[in-house]
Amino acid sequence: MTNRREFMRVAATGALVLGSQSKLGLAAALDQHRTAGNSKVVVARDAALHGAGAQPDEKRVLALLDRAMAAYTGRDNPVAAWKHIVPAGQVIGLKTNGLGGRGISTHLALIMAVAERLQQAGVKPGNIIVWDRNARDLQACGLTINTDPSRIRVFGSDVSGFEEQPVSFGAVNVKLSKILTRECGMVIGLPILKDHNISGVTFAMKNMYGVIERPNELHGGGCNPGVADLNCVPAVREKVRFTIGDAMTSIYEGGPGFKPEHVWYPNALIVGEDRVAVDQIAWQMLERKRAEAGIKSLEAAGRPPRYIATAADATHKLGVNDPQRIHLMEI
C-alpha cells in the first residue's frame, strides 16, 4: 500500500496503475450480488486495526477494505471488485465527513486506500474528487486542498459554490453543491459513524447534509423527514450510489463533535449500496455499544433516528430498514 507521502506523489504526477475499465454499469453489477428481495450489507472487522496507536494502520485498512469489497462483490481480486462497482469514464466523488474535527473525521488511511484502488481500477487521478463542505472539514481528515485537474482533486463547496436554483422534495428546498451537480458522475459516501445530539445517528444518509448550502435548516423534528427528503432529491438519489462507511473509530454519546470520553473503536467498515440498510445496521451497532456502556437507548433518550424508517417508506423508497430483509454479512 502507498504511504501518505507516496499517495501525494501519485496524486501530483497523475500516475496510473493497472489499466482498463469495466463496461458494467453499477446497478447491473451490484444486482448480481443481492439476495432476491433483500439488500446486502457487509460489516468487515479487524480487531488489530488500531494496534497501539490512535490512528488505524494503513496496511491493515487497505486489507480490510479489500475484504469488505470482496465479500460484497464476490470478487477476490481487489481490482476486479472495484471494476464491478465503478462505471467507466466518470468522475468519482468521495464524500468525506470532517465536521467533528480531527478526532472524529473520516480517516485519511481509508481515503488513501479507496483512491488507490480506484486508480488501479482505471480511474484517472484527475477523475477522483475528495470533497466536503469546506476546507476546514477536509483538513480535519488530514487532507490538503488541491484543484489541479491532472491530480487527485481535494476541495470543498466553498471553492465550487452552490447552484443558484434550489431543488425540492417533500419538506426540503435546497441549493446543492456544484461538485455534486456539475463534477461528479458517481459519489461514494465515506461517512464516519457517530452519535448525533439531534438525529440520534449520523452516517450514510445524514452525511448528505454536507452537500447543501444551509444544512442547519433541516434539523427540525430530529432531522425527520429532512434526511430522507434530502436523499430523494434527484442528484443525491441518483449519484450517491455506494457507501464505504468508516466505523473504525466512533462516538457513541455526545456527538456529532469529538468527545474523547465517549470514543469507541469498532474497527469496522460498513459497506453497501442501500443507504437505508447501511444506516439501519450502523444504528444497531451504536445501540449495542450504548447498552454495553450502560447508557440509555436512543429511543429512551428521546432521539431515535426516525428518518431511517421514513427513508424506507412508500413515499421515499430509498431502501429497506427491516432487518429481516437485510442480508448482513459480518466478516
Residue 82 in this model has a pLDDT that exceeds 60: yes
The model's pLDDT over 234-283, given as tens digits with 9 standing for 90+, comes to 999 999 999 999 999 999 999 999 999 999 999 999 999 999 999 999 99
Quote the pLDDT of residue 250: 97
**Higher-confidence position of 113 and 29:** 113
Quote the pLDDT of residue 243: 98
d(CA 91, CA 109): 21
pTM value > 0.85:
yes
- Contacts of residue 207, defined as CB under 8 A and 6 or more positions apart, other chains included, come to 95, 97, 189, 191
Quote the pLDDT of residue 186: 98
d(CA 238, CA 45): 29
Residue 8 in this model has a pLDDT that exceeds 50: no
- With the C-alpha atoms ordered 137, 158, 186, 168, is the resulting torsion angle positive or negative? positive
- pLDDT bin (cut points 50, 70, 90) of residue 88 is confident
Cα–Cα distances in Å, from 52 out to 47, 48, 57, 140, 185?
A: 12, 9, 10, 22, 39
The model's pLDDT over 290-330, given as tens digits with 9 standing for 90+, comes to 999 999 999 999 999 999 999 999 999 999 999 999 999 99
- pLDDT bin (cut points 50, 70, 90) of residue 1 is very low
d(CA 154, CA 127): 11
What integer is the mean pLDDT of 106-128?
Answer: 98
Cα–Cα distances in Å, from 100 out to 50, 197, 251, 258, 329?
A: 20, 13, 10, 6, 29
- Contacts of residue 302, defined as CB under 8 A and 6 or more positions apart, other chains included, come to none
3-state secondary structure of 58: helix
Quote the pLDDT of residue 34: 41
- The angle formed by the CA atoms of residues 311, 231 and 196, to the nearest 5 degrees, is 75
Closest by CA to 63, choosing from 52, 48, 73, is 48
Write the DSSP string, 170-227: TTEEEPBBHIIIII-SEEEE--EEEEETTTEEESTTGGGGGGBS-GGGG-HHHHTTHH
Across the chain, mean pLDDT equals: 91
Residue 16 in this model has a pLDDT that exceeds 50: no
Closest by CA to 137, choosing from 159, 167, 118, 119, is 159
Element (H, E) at 128: strand 128-131
Question: Contact, 243 vs 271, CB < 8 A?
Answer: yes
Question: Contact, 316 vs 310, CB < 8 A?
Answer: yes
Q: What burial letters (b/e) apply to 294-314, b meaning 16+ CB within 10 Å?
A: ebeebeeeebbbbbbbbbbee
How many Cβ atoms from other residues are within 10 Å of residue 220's Cβ?
12
The model's pLDDT over 146-166, given as tens digits with 9 standing for 90+, comes to 999 999 999 999 999 999 999
Rg (CA), the chain: 18
- pLDDT bin (cut points 50, 70, 90) of residue 62 is very high
Quote the pLDDT of residue 240: 98
- pLDDT bin (cut points 50, 70, 90) of residue 38 is confident
